[in-house]
A = this chain, B = another copy of it.
Amino acid sequence: MTRVRENGETMTETSQVTARQVGVEAGRVLKVALLGGGTVGSQVARILLDDAEPLAARAGARLELSGIAVRNVDAPRDVELPRELYTTDAEGLVAGADLVIELMGGIEPARTHILAALRHGASVVTGNKALLAQDGATLFDEADAHDAELNFEAAVAGAIPIIRPIRESLSGDRITRVLGIVNGTTNFILDAMDTTGAQFADVLAEAQRLGYAEADPTADVEGLDAAAKAAILASLAFHTRVSLDDVRCEGITKVSAADIVAAQDAGMTIKLLAIAELVSADKAEQSGNEGVSVRVHPTLLPRTHPLAAVHGAYNAVFVEAENAGSLMFYGAGAGGAPTASAIMGDVVTTARRIVAGSPGRTGTATRVLPLVGPEGITTSYSVGLEVADQPGVLSRVASVFAQHGVSIETMRQRIHGTESATAADAGAASRAELRFVTHRATEAALAATVADIKNLDVVESVTSVLRVEGV
């Protein structure tokens, strides 16, 4: 049975608000097809049914849920919805729809259904980050060719409005950098490591127990989920096309409790960041043009940076633009209801444009920017070493940095739990830990430095190499 909420969210039409302002065209109905009946799909269906009145007032047309395509009509569901809505005939459902909500996930058959919808002029709302990151260009071209809209606010950072602000609010500005905490699982794990001092494996197990991490956590902890979102953000922010294959990606599995402690000592925290950066002409591969660098990796951030205050499974996206300056968007990055909120915002907005007679034209790629690889960008690095605690070690290590032109900004030493920045060349104990933070250097210069440092007989091991942002 349909549960209609009785909380007073009803439309009151009085003489002060005319029918024109309310804007529901007489008898106008949009047929909405829902593909996927999982957690988010069920929430979306619930909202479409329960909030039909206010949604109609805001969209300017009744949004009629014509069906929910699922693999098994008889599977048990969390949310109680009218049984007759379920169908296995996704193709038929799409063929009769004005607006298709795709929540199946994965590449196929989602891709086929979206293309079919766009080809007959239906607009599409999706949260499918994998498909957009892999083959967004094909979908955008098809939408443009048929004057249909393709909206996907839910694909990045759940309920946080970030796609629309980048595509529309900042369309008159020049975005130079996007830094995002766009994966709740890894932020939960890193935040818990920061708070408790525990090792990655232990915190992951706890996150799995609490439902913040999946049984197979690979896509999250290896950074693949964040990489798909980075590709989408980079494409929109820089009006170009970036696909998942273009994103350099490193996960958090190698971040140790010692790294976290060292970060804390330096007034920093470690976050898994999706980074999309406009690289100016002189750094880009092709001279006379700009390039774009897109990457995901664990990153040291000063605790004073707004992103450092994003705790637990929350997401946030920090945007730097030429005129707007620094902006941050913060909120819940996942979950059925928050994701459904983002989907429904797209549904209402898309419906308004269908009613107005002209969906499409939200602006995607207007240029082709070259991808800039690691050779084209510079970053600060934090390098941790275990060394023999004997005279001359620091000077030998420092000379390797110097040989490769990598300048050292700070050095910290820890011997048997004490800390000193001067004792490295004087001590007599067995082992010490050194942590260097460098000035900006290329990845190639740093890699050569680290390789040579490893070969020093006084160096036991290189315990960590982490990039630093926001300094």
Contacts and interface: CB of A to CB of B under 8 A. Distances in A.
A357 B357 CA distance: 8
A10 B240 CA distance: 12
Interface stretch (A109-117, A166-174, A181-189): A166-174
Contacts of A290: 8-9
B361 A170 contact: no
A328 interface: yes
Contact of A327 (B7, B161, B172, B346): B161
Given A9-B290, A161-B161, A171-B58, A325 B349 contact: no
Contact of A353 (B159, B342, B358): B358
Contacts of A349: 168-169, 171
Contact of A356 (B9, B22, B361, B368): B361
A239 B51 CA distance: 14
Interface stretch (A82-90, A246-254, A329-337): A329-337
Nearest to A347: B172
Given A323-B47, A325-B159, A363 B172 contact: no
Interface string A294-330: 0000000000001001000000000001111111111
B306 A367 contact: no
A54 interface: yes
Interface stretch (A12-20, A92-100, A377-385): A12-20
Interface in A123-151: 140-141, 144-145
Contacts of A343: 172
A365 interface: yes
A329 B174 CA distance: 19
Contact of A366 (B23, B281, B335, B340): B23
Contact of A239 (B57, B241, B361, B365): B57
B368 A17 contact: yes
Interface in A1-59: 7-14, 16-17, 20-23, 43, 47, 51, 54-55, 57-59
A352 interface: yes
A269 interface: no
Given A21-B144, A57-B366, A60-B361, A9 B174 contact: yes
Most buried by B among A159, A168, A173: A168
A212 to B, nearest CB: 16
A179 to B, nearest CB: 13
Nearest to A57: B366
A20 B145 contact: yes
B344 A355 contact: no
Interface in A229-274: 239, 241
B367 A11 contact: yes
B164 A168 contact: yes
A364 interface: yes
A180 interface: no
A306 B330 contact: yes
Contact of A368 (B14, B160, B325): B14
A358 B348 CA distance: 16
A105 to B, nearest CB: 19
A300 to B, nearest CB: 20
B144 A366 contact: no
Given A321-B341, A349-B171, A368-B14, A328 B331 contact: yes
Contacts of A328: 328-331
A392 interface: no
A241 B325 CA distance: 32
Contact of A21 (B161, B346, B364): B364
29 contacts: A7-B281, A9-B174, A13-B367, A17-B241, A17-B368, A20-B144, A21-B364, A21-B366, A22-B366, A55-B172, A58-B171, A58-B363, A60-B361, A159-B324, A160-B327, A161-B165, A161-B168, A164-B169, A165-B165, A165-B169, A170-B341, A172-B347, A322-B337, A324-B332, A325-B338, A327-B329, A328-B331, A352-B362, A356-B361
Given A9-B290, A21-B365, A325-B331, 18 more contacts: A11-B367, A12-B368, A16-B368, A21-B366, A23-B363, A43-B323, A161-B161, A164-B169, A168-B345, A171-B345, A171-B348, A172-B347, A323-B340, A324-B332, A324-B337, A329-B330, A348-B363, A356-B358
